[in-house]
Amino acid sequence: MTTFKWKIPQHAFLFLAAFAFFASCNKDNSQDMTNESAMYAKDIPTPTATKVAKELSIHGDTRIDNYYWLNERENPDVIAYLTAENDYKEKMMEHTKGFQDKLFQEMKGRIKEQDQSVPYKDNGYWYLTRFEQGQEYPIYSRKKGTLEASEEIMLNVNELAKSFDYFNVAGLSVSPDNKILAYGDDTLSRRIYTIKFKNLETGEMLEDQIPGAQPGFAWASDNKTIFYTAKDLETLRGYKIMKHKLGTPASQDKEIFNEKDDTYNAFVYRTKSDKYIIIGTSTTLAQEYHILEADKPDGKFRPFQLRERGLEYSIDHYGNKFYIRTNLDAKNFRLMETSETATSKENWKELIPNRPDVLFEGMDIFKDYLVLSERKNGITQIRIRPWNGEEHYIQFPEEAYLAYTSTNPEFDTEQLRLGYQSMTTPNSTFDYNMKSKEFKLLKRQEVLGGFDPNNYQSERVMVAARDGAKVPVSIVYRKGFEKNGKSPLLLYGYGSYGASMDPSFSSSRLSLLDRGFVFVIAHIRGGEEMGRQWYEDGKLLKKKNTFTDFIDCAEWLLANNYTNKDKLFAMGGSAGGLLMGAVVNMRPDLWKGVVAQVPFVDVVTTMLDESIPLTTFEFDEWGNPKNKEYYDYIKSYSPYDNVEAKDYPALLVTTGLHDSQVQYFEPAKWVAKMREMKTDKNPLLLHTNMEAGHGGASGRFKALHETALQYAFLLDLAGKNEEFKIR
């Protein structure tokens, strides 16, 4: 069986969409950018949302929400308001239209349009993903036996996407006999997929279609049975595991597992060993798995270890054993093993112990090697542990970087496929010989347009927060930057769900760096950069540490002359958008401008409404406001609930009408309330993508238009224009 996926560090899926818009930049020190944005000179009537008072009462407390009605997606008045905001944004940014086009062409011009991934071999075929000149979407293909064999195109997504404003393919999985491709497509950006099947021998599509699913399927060994996850179409929770037999209607699919606890999300996968189908169900603080031999698709799944609150674990299989990553008596997780026939926790035996200074993030299993991904001092390290022999860590050339194991479907090999990048080194794919310790560079992202990594420099510093915690900070700029307080600086943060923000490369970000910006990532609490405790110290009743860490990093950058208050900007997306909302309420004086991407800003109301997608999963992250202690605490920082009559910095807020993770009405309500309350004349813009969801536009180039909008907003506020670009 072949499953197409790019393996990325744990939790990365929680923030990739937001990270895609990253910007970083450096300043031309010969110029003092004092030009005021033309937005300030425009006298354009601002949109006004109708106020309809809605009383929301709980715990003896009543909140008046004048914009609650904006959650009516089908209401023509809602669409009219969003359209009015888009029109206002267009008029306010009209003077940057030419600049936006230049930025778009510049960023697009760095992308090698005719490109392909490094092939990998699985079950007798070499698989690759390639792009053609001018095309938005990938082509998935394979070659039998050798790379010299003729190419078999499995899916040309450009053809499939022709009739849609938005199109995404996910979960590609080939049957064990290499004959049938299963995949999911989403045409609305709500992350609700329809599973489809293609006969790879004839090129014909099968009649089988399964709507309302999430990507991630598991083939049984009989090549005709597939297990998949059905979604609740209102809450978007994966709640049922179903079994489908090819050639039968989806209405006859058999329910195998039903997760009735709405705080859990169900999923299914097949082990790398191909021996087992695994049903998993997970919430923030607990997991449970059920297993079945893949060659017995009509058999009964049996529990691996039943759920216990606070017991987190994940499993993989090799030989006659299961390997378990768990927090059982291990804050930073440890590795255990157990036999196939005795899987409950009392049978688990320790292989790798818990360490207070190292977070065990994940593992890859090979015939002769165990590969461990570990995070220490904010950086992921890769540890090679032979089943017999001396272990070692892979040595990388830079102090701050992102390294991860990539696609490794084969067991019997000494070659480990690795991904590597840094803030100055483009994404690179290596084969690493685990025996000889030799690297072989297979591909490095080609950045067109004269990019030279020697023109850029990065730093890694530790900033003391107000309570003494040391926050890692990653910095990149173009060489020639001077710490004289004159450069514009963009500070990025996330700080939720234990998602670690790694110091990665962005070719788009060069458009800021080459215009004098410094780009900084604050690795604040709420992530897991410094271990599990780092996450726990930035959630629930300690959530405000996330916000104060970000503010303290900003203060440090100011005190050390990286920038000044008139050139300090901030950006964050999703839960990082919550961060933006919180810090502009707490310290509006710090920021010249802020970009809040798909921001989660109406925390109290959303967490009280269990019909909203993803809410029930979040109680262990934010707390359940039905409990008064959590209600009071969340209300004390929820951005929407804390908008006041005061001056705010310039703001660009983005959302998608079909967003399945942060509903469009949260940023829309926030902007409406800000318009009503704020006392300044700084620009406040709302950009709603009427065809997309949480991750923005589909296609590799369309999304760059939104990036260009955000960069133009920042550069315009910084008084920066094209003629100041560093050459």
- The model's pLDDT over 695-722, given as tens digits with 9 standing for 90+, comes to 555 577 888 999 999 999 999 999 876 5
User: What pLDDT, on the 0 to 100 scale, is given for residue 33?
Assistant: 37
For the cut 80, the answer to whether the pLDDT of residue 10 exceeds it is no
The structural domains of the chain, with segments of one domain joined by +, span: 31-108+449-724
User: What is the pLDDT confidence band of residue 134, given thresholds at 50, 70 and 90?
Assistant: confident
Residue 190 one-letter amino acid: R
- Please say if the pLDDT value at position 319 is more than 70: yes
Q: Once rounded to an integer, what is the mean pLDDT over residues 291-303?
A: 97
Does residue 612 register a pLDDT over 80?
A: no
**Of residues 187, 203, 208, the one with CA closest to residue 154:** 203
Q: Which residue has the higher pLDDT, 575 or 14?
A: 575
Enumerate the active-site residues.
574, 659, 694
DSSP string for residues in 461-494: EEEE-TTS-EEEEEEEEETT---SS-S-EEEE--
Average pLDDT over residues 632-641: 98
| More confidently predicted of 178 and 617 | 178
Strand partners for 227: 218, 243
pLDDT of residue 101 exceeding 90, the answer is: yes
Tokens read off for 265:
């999300």
**What is the pLDDT, as a whole number, of residue 188?**
84
Which of 111-115, 674-678, 703-707 holds the top average pLDDT? Answer: 674-678
Query: Residue 9 has what pLDDT?
Result: 31
In sequence order, which residues have a C-beta less than 8 Å from that of residue 397 and are 6 or more positions away?
A: none
Residue 136 has a pLDDT of 87
Whole-number pLDDT of residue 191? 83
3-state secondary structure of 357: coil
Fold (topology level) of 31-108+449-724: Rossmann fold (3.40.50)
In the predicted model, is pLDDT for residue 17 greater than 80? Answer: no
Query: Judging by DSSP bridges, how do beta strands 489-492 and 568-573 pair with one another?
Result: parallel
pLDDT at 695: 54
Would you state the pLDDT for residue 2?
40
Q: What confidence score (pLDDT) does residue 725 get?
A: 56
pLDDT for res 143: 96
304 pLDDT more than 90: yes
- Residues 273-302 have a mean pLDDT of 96
User: The tokens 């224009």 sit on which residue?
Assistant: 721
Angle at 603 between CA 549 and CA 80, to 5 degrees: 120
Q: What is the pLDDT of residue 692?
A: 61
pLDDT band at residue 15 under the 50/70/90 scheme: very low
Angle at 527 between CA 523 and CA 531, to 5 degrees: 100
Produce one character per residue of 513-551: b if its CB has 16 or more CB atoms within 10 Å, e if not: bbbbbbbbbbbbbbbbbbbbebbebbbbeebebbbbbbb
pLDDT value of position 696 = 54
Q: Predicted confidence band at 595 (pLDDT cuts at 50, 70, 90)?
A: very high
Strands 359-365 and 369-376: antiparallel
Model pTM?
0.88
pLDDT in tens, 22-53: 333 333 333 333 457 889 888 899 999 999 99
User: Cα separation of 440 and 104, whole Å?
Assistant: 34
Instruction: Look at residue 95 in the predicted model and tell me its pLDDT.
Output: 95
pLDDT band for position 6 (cuts 50, 70, 90): very low
Between the two ends of the chain, the Cα-to-Cα distance in Å is 49
pLDDT tens-digit map of 681-702: 999 999 999 876 555 555 778 8
Q: What is the mean pLDDT of the chain?
A: 91
